[in-house]
Amino acid sequence: MVSEITPRRFSTDERAYVYSRLGLTLMVALLYVGFVPHASQFQRWEYVGALVLMVVDGIAFAVAVWVFDVAIPTAMLGVLVPDLVVIGLFTYCFHTFGDAFYAVAALIAVMYALVQNRRVAIGVSGAIALAYAVGHLYGEPLTMVEATLLALKAMTIVLISLIVANSVEKQKMREEEAQHRAAENELLSGQMARRVSELQAVSEITEIVHSSLDFDRIGPVVLEILSKAIGIDASCLFVVDKEKSETLFSASIGNISGIPTGMAYGLTTPDSESHFACMPVFDHSNVMVLYCAKTDDIDGLSEEDRLVLGAVASELVVALENSRLYKLTKRLAITDELTSLFNYRHLQQRLEDEVGRAKRYEKQVSLLMIDADDFKGFNDTQGHIAGDVALAEAAVLMRTLVREVDVVARYGGEEFSIVLPETDAAGGYVVAEKVREAIAEHVFADADGERTCRLTVSVGVATFPTHAQDKESLLREADDALYHAKNGGKNRVRTPIRRPAVPPDHTLFDTAPTATDEPGE
């Protein structure tokens, strides 16, 4: 497999140094032709030696940088000593030509100042100034004035290098500061974008939570929005009743099959090898909200993410309480407070629905009207509290004798009704007889709480379409049957005694005037 080679990238100052070094070498080589006729034999050898050393030094620099991948600042320091020798020799060679190499020496010092840090640049400029001074001193003796001027020139090389190094360092500091600020701005922009996203998510969740009382439906939607806001793909949320140690609500998104049940309920702590962890994001009174996700995701949550989770959890708790109150209100609106059976209003609605359904699908529906016998005497003898307890117990008995689809309701006072969908007259009679027998055999509590009292009920049974053609006539026929059961001696079951206008294949049932009557035509 061939790997892609990334080309070397040099700064502007590093490229300027390389080009200046190459240009200076070419210039000195060209000057050799013009210099030789005017130079003494000794100066000629110094010039040739300096030129050769300069070329060899340049080749060594190029090999270090492009072959061995040495950084240019490091390579510059590696060839510094030969460069100092070259500066000294060329200064000596050119000192009789108006000190022509002074500008070159100053240029080399500036180039080092541009590339190296300030401390190295000052040291290198001092070495260059010293090499320049030695090159002058190697030639003819200097007068006091000439020596003073030489020292001034050497100091100028150092000062120029210092000024350039300071400027470069300030520029680098400004660039680093600008980069740091740009990085900070980018980080802040990212954080702000995430905070805005989280706030939008919280706002959207709040709107969803308060737009519906069906908490089971909105829960998963809320978790999906939340997971996108905080960037976690797989997670689940539990609202736990701390007193009962049971889950009131749960929702999940993604693959969360690795979460143990105990941990999900917040009853156990995951060990160090577990891939999932749970954390409480809301804990108030007897309700706790747990958020579960992968351990790495939980550990990576920021404080802002945890605040968002807490805000959403508090909204969920409020929504759950509103949903619970709504369901309670809805249930109370159709439930009798004393017996917990359906009330008269709900009975009317369900009976109308069942009769309508029986008409559409050609089915039958039976209605039982049940009334406690001599209940006023029971209340007068044992008191109304015992009477209420007896009615509640009778309601429990009725519910245990019917199917889930059947509707048991309190019609009013001590009177009850049972709607039996898809039940013919014979089936209705059987259920009525079971109810009558169960209540007759049950021993109720008296005023002192002792089980000494007995109660009986009379039951009227009517069936659609055997005895009636609509809801109103069905109620009327069942009530008439109950009336005849009462007048016939009580503690018995009766069906309508009148002949209904129905096809001849329908059978009418009635009971004999005893507690153990059998159905007959």
Give pLDDT, residue 437.
96
Say how far apart CA 320 and CA 306 lie, in whole Å: 20
**Same domain assignment for residues 304 and 359:** no
**Same domain assignment for residues 357 and 483:** yes
Instruction: Report the CATH number at residue 394.
Output: 3.30.70.270
Question: Are the C-beta atoms of residues 247 and 263 closer than 8 Å to each other?
Answer: no
**Same domain assignment for residues 319 and 408:** no
Say how far apart CA 485 and CA 483 lie, in whole Å: 5
Say how far apart CA 225 and CA 208 lie, in whole Å: 10
**Same domain assignment for residues 250 and 284:** yes
Which of 152, 175, 198 is a domain's end point? 175
92 part of a folded domain? yes
**Same domain assignment for residues 355 and 320:** no
Which amino acid appears at position 25 of this protein? Answer: T
360 part of a folded domain? yes
**Same domain assignment for residues 38 and 94:** yes
**Same domain assignment for residues 29 and 146:** yes
| Residues 186-195: b if buried by 16+ CB within 10 A, e if exposed | eeeeeeeebe
Count of domains for the chain: 3
Which amino acid appears at position 123 of this protein? Answer: G
> Angle at the Cα of 309 (from 260 to 266), degrees rounded to 5?
25
395 part of a folded domain? yes
Bridge partners of residue 510, in order along the sequence: 520
What is the pLDDT tens value at each position of the chain, 521 positions in all? 344 444 566 777 778 878 888 888 888 777 777 666 666 655 677 778 888 888 888 888 888 888 888 888 888 888 888 888 888 888 887 777 767 778 888 888 888 888 888 888 888 888 888 888 888 787 667 778 878 888 888 898 888 888 888 888 888 888 888 888 888 888 877 777 766 766 666 676 677 666 666 666 666 777 777 777 777 878 888 888 887 778 877 777 776 665 544 444 444 444 444 577 888 888 877 788 888 888 888 888 877 778 778 877 777 777 777 777 777 777 778 889 899 999 999 999 999 999 999 999 999 999 999 999 999 999 999 999 999 999 999 999 999 999 999 999 999 999 999 999 999 999 999 999 999 999 999 999 999 989 999 999 999 999 999 999 999 999 999 999 999 999 999 999 999 975 444 444 444 444 433 333 434 33
Which of 126, 149, 175 is a domain's end point? 175
**Same domain assignment for residues 17 and 117:** yes
Give pLDDT, residue 76.
83
Q: How many residues does the chain have?
A: 521
Model-wide pTM > 0.75? no
107 part of a folded domain? yes
**Same domain assignment for residues 323 and 404:** no
Give pLDDT, residue 117.
84
Domain extent, residue 65, equals 12-175
Give pLDDT, residue 518.
39
189 part of a folded domain? no
**Same domain assignment for residues 49 and 165:** yes
302 part of a folded domain? yes
Instruction: Report the CATH number at residue 235.
Output: 3.30.450.40
> Angle at the Cα of 193 (from 190 to 199), degrees rounded to 5?
140
**Same domain assignment for residues 381 and 436:** yes
Enclosing H/E stretch for 89: helix 80-94
**Same domain assignment for residues 26 and 164:** yes
Say how far apart CA 292 and CA 300 lie, in whole Å: 13
